[in-house]
Structure 1
Amino acid sequence: MLHQFLMTHREQIIALTRTKIAARVAPRAAQEELENGIPLLVDQLIQALQAEAPHSAAIQQEMEQSAALHGQDMLRKGYTVAQLVHDYGAVCQAITLVAADQGTAISAEDYRFLNGFLDDAIAEAVTGYGSQRERVLSQQETGRLGFFAHELRNLISAASLTYQVLRSGRVGITGNTGDALGRSLKALRDLVDRSLAEVRLEAGVGKRERVRVAELIEDVEVTATIDAEERGLQLLVHPSEYGLEVVVDRQLIEAAMANLLQNAFKYSRAGGHVLLRAYTSEGRVLIEVEDECGGLPPGKAEELFRPFEQRSSDRSGLGLGLAISLQSVEANGGELSVHDLPGKGCVFTISLPLAPPSPSVN
C-alpha cells in the first residue's frame, strides 16, 4: 500500500523534497516553506491515502478543503502561487525517486491516485490562495474607504459648524472662525485632489503631454504659497533653468508635487522655510522639495512611501499622500526618493526623463 510506504519513508521523502526545493533558482525557497510547508504536504497525502475509500465524495471534499486552507495559509505567510505548485511537484518527484531507490513498485492505481490527489490539491490550493488574496484586497479597499469617509465627515462637520457661527453674525469672516472655515475647505480640496489622482492611477487613465517644468511649478506655487503662509512658513521657489520640458501626465505630476509640498508644510517647524526647485542632471529633470522637519529617525526613510505611514505624532490625514506621489511619479516613468538632512530636514526628489529638444519650426 502506498500510504504504508510513505509512512515508512516519510523522513527520507521530506529530506529529498527539501533538497530539490532548496536547489531551485526560481521561485526561491523560503525557510518556513522548507521547515513546515513540506512536512504538511506529505502528511496531507498520507492522510488521504489512509482513508478506506479514498475516492469517496466525503474524503474528496475533505482533501479539497484541506488544500484550499493550505493555499490560504501560504498566502498569509508570504508564499507565491509558483512556490505552491513547485512544492507539490517536488513531493511527487521525491516519492517516485525514493520508491525507485528502495525497489518498491508503485501500482498503476496508486500512481493514478497520487497524481489525481496532487492535481486536485494544486487546483484547490491555488483557488484558496486566490480567494484569500481577494479578501485581503477587499479588506484593504474597505479600510481605505473607511478612512476616507471618516476624514470627509470630519472636514464637512468642521466646515458646517464654522459656517453656522459665521451665519449667526456673532463673528466676522476675517477672524479666526473664518480662517477655520478656510482650512476646512482647503483640506476638502486636498482630499478630493488626492482621490482623483488615485482614481486615475487605478484606472490607468492618463494623457501624457509635453510640459514646461516652469509651468508645473507655477501651477502649484500659488496655492502652495497661501498654504505656507497660513502655517507660518515661507515657500521659497528657485527659478528653473529655461526651456526644461518633460513628457508627463500633467495632473498626476502636479498632484505629486502638491502632496510633497503639503507634507513639507505639515512637518516643518513654525517660522521655517520650504524650498521648491528644479534643475537638470545627466539627462533628467530633478524637482526637489526641501523642508525643515528636523530630520528623520534611523530607518524611517524606507517606510515613508508606504500607505498609511506618517512621519510623526501628528496623525492628521490618511498617510496616503507620499504613497500616491510615488505611484504618480512612477506611472510617468520617473522616480521619487528622499534624502535625510540630519538635524535639519528632508529633501524629496522627483526625477523625470528630460524631454528631447522640440523639432525646430520652419
Structure 2
Amino acid sequence: MLSDFLSNNRESLIVRARAKVLQRRVPLPTDYELQHGVPLFLNQLIETLQMEGKLERPLPEMGPDAVHHAKDLFKQGFTVGQVVHDYGDLCQAVTELAEELKAKITTDEFHTLNRCLDDVTAEAVTEYGRQRELEASNAETERLGTFAHELRNLIQAAVLSFQMLRRGTVGVSGSTGNAHERTLRQLCDLIDRTLAEVRLESKIQQDVRFPLSPLIDEVAFPANLEARNRGVELVVVPPEGPLEVEADWHLLASAISNILQNAFKFTHRDGRVSLRTLAHGDRILIEVEDECGGLPPGKADELFRPFSQRATDRSGLGLGLAISRRAVEQSGGSVRVRDLPGKGCVFTI
C-alpha cells in the first residue's frame, strides 16, 4: 500500500523534500519550515492514506482534519505560499523515490496521492482566506470598540458639564464652560479623524489639481479659534505666489488640521505656532512649526506610530499624526519632523 511505502521510507522522503525546499527562491525557506514543516506534511499524508485504506469508498475530501492542520500551520507562522509549495515538493519526492525503488504502487494509489495533495492544498488556501478574514474582522471590531469607547467618554463629559451649566451654579464663561466647549471640539476632532480613516480605508480618494491658498484658508479659520482657546498665537504665512497641488482636498486638509492640533496641544501657553507654505523645485512644502520645547532623543521616529503619545498629555489616542502621514502618502507626498532642541518642532508635508 502507498501508506506503507511512505511510512517505510519516511526519513528518505523527508531528506528529499527538504532538499527541494532549499532550492526554492520564492518564498524563501525558513529553518522552522525545514525542521518541522516537511515532517508535519508527510505525517498528515500518511494518516490520510491510512484512513482511506480502511474505508470501502474513497474520502471525497480531507475534511476537518485538513482544516485543523491548516489552522495549526498558520498559527505557527507558515504562509500559504510555503504550505502550497511544500506539499508540491513532497509529492515530487514521493514520485521520484517510488520510481527509483521500482515500488509496486498502483495507478489508483497515485491518483489517490494526487487527490489528497490537491485537497489539502485547496483546503490550506481556503483556510488561509478564512483566517485573514477573521483577523480583519477582529481588527475592525477592536477599532470600532475603541471609537465607541472614546465617543462615550466625550459625550459623558459634555453631558455632565452641560448639566452643571443648566443648573446655573457655574458661569458659562468659567472653567466649566471652557471644559464643555473643549469636549465639543474633541468630539468634532474625533468625527473628522474617523471620516479621514474611512476615506483612507475605502479608497474613495479623489486627487485633483487645485490652488493651495483656499485650502489653507479653510484649515486656518477653525485652527485660529482653537489656538486662541488654548492661549496660543497662530501665524499663517501665505504662499509666495499662486501655488497648486494635486491631491485629495479632504485628506490633505485633515492632515494639516491634525498636525496643527498636535502643535497647539504641546505648545506652551502664550507660545506661537506657524503655518507656512513654500515652493521647493517641483514640490510644495507645507510647514507647521510649534514651540513644544523640543523632543526627547529618539522620539521623532515614534511620533507617527499609531497610539504613540508625544508627552505627559495623554488625551486622545495618539492617532492624529499617524492618520496625517497615511493621508499625505496616499496622495504621493511625505511627512517628516525636524527637532529644534530647546525650542520646538517643524512638521513638513
TM-score computed with the length of structure 2 as normaliser: 0.87
Counterpart of 2:17 in structure 1 is 17
Between 220-229 and 168-177, report the one with greater CA deviation.
220-229
Q: Distance in 2 between matches of 1:8 and 1:342?
A: 71
* Per-residue Cα deviation, 1:178-204 (whole angstroms, up to 9, x for no partner): 110110110011111112112222333
Counterpart for residue 39 of structure 1? 39
- Counterpart CA distance in 1 for 2:299 and 2:266 is 18
**What is the DSSP-based 3-state SS (H/G/I as helix, E as strand, rest coil) of the residue aligned with 1:51?**
helix
1:319-334 equivalences under 5 Å are 319-334=318-333
The answer for the alignment partner of 1:113 in structure 2 is 112
Alignment check: 8 A CA contact 2:259 2:321 kept: yes
Q: Which residue of 2 aligns with 1:356?
A: none
- Alpha-carbon distance in structure 1 between the residues aligned to 2:106 and 2:208: 67
Correspondence 1:248-267 to 2 at 5 A: 248-267=247-266
State the 1:269 CA deviation.
5.1
Q: Where do residues 172-321 of structure 1 align in structure 2 (5 Å cutoff)?
A: 172-268=171-267, 272-291=271-290, 292=292, 294-295=294-295, 298=298, 301=301, 304-312=303-311, 314-321=313-320
- Between the two proteins, the alignment pairs up a number of residues equal to 348
The range that moved more, 275-284 or 253-262, is 275-284
TM-superposed CA distance for 1:154, in Å, is 0.9
Q: Which residue of 2 aligns with 1:159?
A: 158
How far off its partner does 1:111 sit?
Answer: 1.1
Aligned 1:110-149 pairs, distance under 5 A: 110-149=109-148
**1:177 positional shift:** 0.9
Against the structure 1 CA distance between its residues 209 and 2, is the aligned structure 2 distance closer, same or farther, given a 3 Å change threshold? same
Cα contact 2:300–2:337 (8 A) shared by 1 = no
Residue 70 of structure 2 aligns with which residue?
Answer: 71
Which AA in structure 1 matches 2:32?
E
Distance 1:195 1:42, change over 3 A: same
**Residue 94 of structure 1: how far off its partner (Å):** 2.2
What residue is the counterpart of 2:27 in the other structure?
27
1:185 and 1:89 mapped to 2: Cα distance? 60
Please give the alpha-carbon distance, in whole angstroms, between the structure 2 residues aligned to 1:40 and 1:312. Answer: 49
SS of the equivalent of 2:324 reads helix
> 2:84, 2:124 within 8 Å by CA — same for their partners in 1?
no
CA-CA distance at 1:159 after TM superposition: 1.0
Residues in 1 aligned to 2:128 and 2:29: alpha-carbon distance in whole angstroms: 18
Q: Residue type of the partner of 2:21?
A: I
- Residues 101/325 of structure 1: CA separation in 2 closer, same or farther (3 Å cut): farther
Unaligned residue ranges in structure 1 (runs of 5+):
351-362
Q: CA deviation at 1:77?
A: 4.7
1:123 Cα deviation from its structure 2 partner: 1.4
Find the counterpart in structure 2 of residue 168 from structure 1: 167
Give the SS at the match of 2:335: strand
Cα distance in 2 for residues equivalent to 1:133 and 1:213: 41
Per-residue deviation, 1:12 = 3.1
Identity of aligned residues (%): 49
- Which residue of 1 is the match for residue 6 of structure 2? 6
Q: Distance in 2 between matches of 1:299 and 1:50?
A: 59
CA distances 1:214-239 after superposition (whole Å, capped 9, x unpaired)? 33222222222332343344434343
TM-score of the aligned structures, taking structure 1 as reference length: 0.84
* Cα distance in 1, alignment partners of residues 181 and 213 from structure 2: 28
CA separation of 1:228 and 1:100: change in aligned 2, threshold 3 A: farther
Higher mean displacement: 338-347 or 243-252? 338-347
Letter in structure 1 aligned against 2:92: Q
Contact 2:273 2:288 in 1 (8 A): yes
Indicate the larger mover: 211-220 or 166-175: 211-220
Amino acid at match of 1:110: E
Task: Map residues 30-109 of structure 1 onto 2, 5 A cutoff.
Answer: 30-51=30-51, 53=53, 63-109=62-108
TM-superposed CA distance for 1:317, in Å, is 2.0
Shift of 1:211: 2.0
CA contact (8 A) 1:48 1:54 kept: no
SS at match of 2:53: coil
Aligned-pair Cα RMSD in Å: 2.9
Q: CA deviation at 1:251?
A: 0.8
Cα deviation for residue 313 of structure 1 reads 5.3
The answer to whether the Cα contact below 8 Å between 2:52 and 2:58 also exists between their aligned partners in 1 is no
Change (3 A) 1:201 1:59: same
Is the 1:290–1:347 contact (alpha carbons within 8 Å) kept by the matching residues of 2? yes
Asked whether the 8 Å contact 1:338–1:346 carries over to 2, the reply is yes
Q: Report the 3-state secondary structure (helix = DSSP H, G, I; strand = E; otherwise coil) of the residue aligned with 1:115.
A: helix
